[in-house]
Chains A and B, each alone.
Chain A
């Protein structure tokens, strides 16, 4: 059965609508990307709680902190590149240092944004956000998960960064699936090796695992939708039980999900590990599929990495 294709930003937009209905404290800020981030759905329904900030991300983030100090639950929306790169010190001092319930939605993340090119492809924010004390980092694997993550983010007293994408990805979870920030999901059981992925790479990882099954390679797949705080137990269990780990992210391998996994594995239960991601490069224009191939982020690349790593086991 062909899966429904929906961008995670759409799930976020729906999550905001649910929050708008249920929680009067929720306010939404946008830095002139209201349609693109799907904040517009909230704006249309709850205009009195929508705050247009113009192209001024630094002010948006600190103003969100002020709103949180005033008792609101703000969601600040912009592209991932700007959220993390443009307002990092504001996130650090105005938001994280005060440990406020400010939620940041960064859309258009990863290389799959496509034709806009390097200036708009957020490839570093997991690292940047992960480095901030008190910050939670969530990378939903599909639209349903994005909706649940949005609703959950509002309940966490500290700041949360939601990493979202523009390109449609298959919906691999079910409405009834339990979603808990910080708790990894094993989406496929297996014993030979574990692939730990986040975001749309979870689907690629699953496709790779299914392909490998035909070659009698039994791979576990973990949807690590929360790179921080990472589910340490799930990582250690995977390392102990399967003896090798491949990480997959549409993001630089410097400081992202792969690094987070390596930090745990290397200090607790060293096993062979391979990180799939962007390696010290900027992005470029192209269509989604071309770019994923060029940067070696497809299920075929994952399969190859798994086979190579198994030899080192």
Chain B
């Protein structure tokens, strides 16, 4: 069950632009989460330009699929993709984290600009997504799918596993979770801070259908979404192997880049590196 394939080359070019936007936004804001935004780019682009049914012209469309960014700190990536998709003017991106901006430091629900839920306190997104999926199921509106993207560090929150049970108990096959499996969190490597492995087996044991993907390879992500869409009678999860800080060599795989923005010279170097490819 696959959808119309987008032009991969175009998506790859778009990914570079989105990364540039993210870095520029964070640079202007002077604070924010660089590493965990850069790791999300291909996943979000695949969701918004391939997988989800949505309409930026009509953000409140009642048949739209829903997306919850449970790891709310990755919102610069979401904002950049939403602006690119046409939900709001690109100029808004440069107001990130500024007083009075609709682009809050962590997402604030605003359906008119494509933000389905307020998130930022980790661990709540999957529960919210369960509620949305349940409500679609109660309305026999199963064509509407709900997607929830979590961080791997976030999986240390107990509430995630409460929601994991609920999704299986209610056979929410209209729900698809995605993990940005970049192995790092603010304090360091996930395995050192509080181990969560074996991740694949854990989700299987909870009753989910588990897929793994290369979170920076569009073909691999699309294939995982295609498979997830075909799962019946239970929820699906895609464990997407990613690199924190992807695309900029001196930011990649550095826990120190979790919660800081690039300074002027760093921004310049990062943008140069991105453009060179």
Residues on A lying within 8 angstroms of B by beta carbon are 27, 48-49, 51-54, 56, 58-59, 61-72, 74, 89-90, 92-94, 97-98
Question: How far apart are the CA atoms of A48 and B166 in the complex, in Å?
Answer: 16
Asked whether A71 lies within 8 Å of B159 as measured between CB atoms, the reply is no
Q: Does B45 contact A (CB under 8 A)?
A: no
List 13 A–B pairs whose Cβ atoms lie within 8 Å, in order of A's numbering: A54-B162, A54-B165, A59-B127, A61-B127, A63-B128, A66-B127, A68-B131, A69-B128, A70-B135, A70-B136, A90-B124, A94-B127, A98-B117
Asked whether A63 lies within 8 Å of B163 as measured between CB atoms, the reply is yes
Interface residues of B in 112-169 (CB under 8 A from A): 116-121, 123-124, 127-136, 138-139, 158-159, 162-163, 165-166, 169
Asked whether A89 lies within 8 Å of B163 as measured between CB atoms, the reply is no
Chain A residues near B131 (CB, 8 Å)?
62-70, 74
Chain B interface residue number, banded = 20 to 34
Chain A residues near B109 (CB, 8 Å)?
69, 97-98
Asked whether A56 lies within 8 Å of B129 as measured between CB atoms, the reply is no
Interface SS of A by simple majority? helix
Asked whether B163 lies within 8 Å of A67 as measured between CB atoms, the reply is no
* B68 CB to nearest A CB, Å: 8
Question: How far apart are the CA atoms of A64 and B138 in the complex, in Å?
Answer: 13
Question: How far apart are the CA atoms of A306 and B197 in the complex, in Å?
Answer: 63
Closest to B137 in A: A70
Closest to A93 in B: B121
Asked whether B134 lies within 8 Å of A70 as measured between CB atoms, the reply is yes
**B134 interface neighbour in A58, A67, A92, Cβ under 8 Å:** A67
Q: Does B108 contact A (CB under 8 A)?
A: yes
Question: How far apart are the CA atoms of A252 and B75 in the complex, in Å?
Answer: 40
Q: Count the A-B residue pairs with Cβ separation under 8 angstroms: how many?
A: 103
Asked whether A51 lies within 8 Å of B120 as measured between CB atoms, the reply is no
Asked whether B138 lies within 8 Å of A66 as measured between CB atoms, the reply is no
Closest to B148 in A: A66
**B124 interface neighbour in A48, A54, A94, Cβ under 8 Å:** A94
Q: Most A CB atoms within 10 A — which of B66, B124, B130, B134?
A: B124
| CB contact under 8 A between A72 and B135, given known A59-B162, A98-B109 | yes
Question: How far apart are the CA atoms of A89 and B123 in the complex, in Å?
Answer: 11
Asked whether A58 lies within 8 Å of B162 as measured between CB atoms, the reply is yes
List the 4 closest pairs (A to B, CB-CB), nearest first.
A66-B131, A70-B135, A62-B127, A59-B162
Asked whether A51 lies within 8 Å of B134 as measured between CB atoms, the reply is yes
Asked whether B134 lies within 8 Å of A63 as measured between CB atoms, the reply is yes
Closest to B136 in A: A70
Closest to B160 in A: A59
Question: How far apart are the CA atoms of A63 and B135 in the complex, in Å?
Answer: 10
Q: Most A CB atoms within 10 A — which of B121, B130, B138, B165?
A: B138
Chain A residues near B165 (CB, 8 Å)?
54, 56, 59
Chain A residues near B127 (CB, 8 Å)?
58-59, 61-63, 65-66, 90, 94
Question: How far apart are the CA atoms of A72 and B158 in the complex, in Å?
Answer: 26
Asked whether A59 lies within 8 Å of B134 as measured between CB atoms, the reply is no
Question: How far apart are the CA atoms of A66 and B128 in the complex, in Å?
Answer: 4
Q: Most A CB atoms within 10 A — which of B133, B135, B139, B163?
A: B135
Closest to A58 in B: B159
Question: How far apart are the CA atoms of A61 and B128 in the complex, in Å?
Answer: 9
**A69 interface neighbour in B121, B132, B158, B162, Cβ under 8 Å:** B132
Question: How far apart are the CA atoms of A98 and B159 in the complex, in Å?
Answer: 19
| CB contact under 8 A between A56 and B117, given known A63-B128, A69-B131, A97-B108 | no
Chain A residues near B133 (CB, 8 Å)?
66
**A62 interface neighbour in B66, B163, B170, Cβ under 8 Å:** B163
Asked whether B138 lies within 8 Å of A63 as measured between CB atoms, the reply is no
Question: How far apart are the CA atoms of A52 and B130 in the complex, in Å?
Answer: 13
* A78 CB to nearest B CB, Å: 13
Question: How far apart are the CA atoms of A3 and B32 in the complex, in Å?
Answer: 61
Chain A residues near B120 (CB, 8 Å)?
93
Chain B residues near A58 (CB, 8 Å)?
123-124, 127, 158-159, 162
Chain B residues near A49 (CB, 8 Å)?
138
* B206 CB to nearest A CB, Å: 13
Q: Most A CB atoms within 10 A — which of B109, B118, B133?
A: B118
Question: How far apart are the CA atoms of A245 and B118 in the complex, in Å?
Answer: 41
Question: How far apart are the CA atoms of A58 and B139 in the complex, in Å?
Answer: 24
**B116 interface neighbour in A54, A64, A69, Cβ under 8 Å:** A69
